[in-house]
Structure 1
Amino acid sequence: MAIGTSLGVVFGLSIFDNIALGIPIGIGVGIAIGSSLDQDAKKKGLVI
């Protein structure tokens, strides 16, 4: 989520010229990536 937030800030400033739009987008991307990695770890039987 932290990586997604930092990327969201960068993209928010470069594309939208507004940091407030980039932060929620980055958080959403971070949550999506994290949940997919958690599901993959559960399928492999790894400890989260």
Structure 2
Amino acid sequence: MNDQYSAMALGMALGIGVGAAIGAAMDNVAIGIAVGIALGAAAGAAYHARRGG
């Protein structure tokens, strides 16, 4: 697995956890997780790009 995908996977995993917490607060866990995954993947990709990979 290359660095870009591992960074995105880590971001998505964190996003699922954060999204589940947000979703629980909003009474809609599915939406919270979906938003968390999207943000996590974007953050992972941005982190990888910033590292110059």
TM-score by length of 1: 0.77
Runs in 1 of length 4+ with deviation above 4 angstroms? none
TM-score by length of 2: 0.71
- Pairwise CA RMSD: 1.1
Task: Quote the sequence identity (%).
Answer: 36
Higher RCO, 1 or 2 (CA under 8 Å, sep at least 6)?
A: 2
Gaps of 5+ in 1: 43-47
Larger Rg: 1
Gaps of 5+ in 2: 1-11
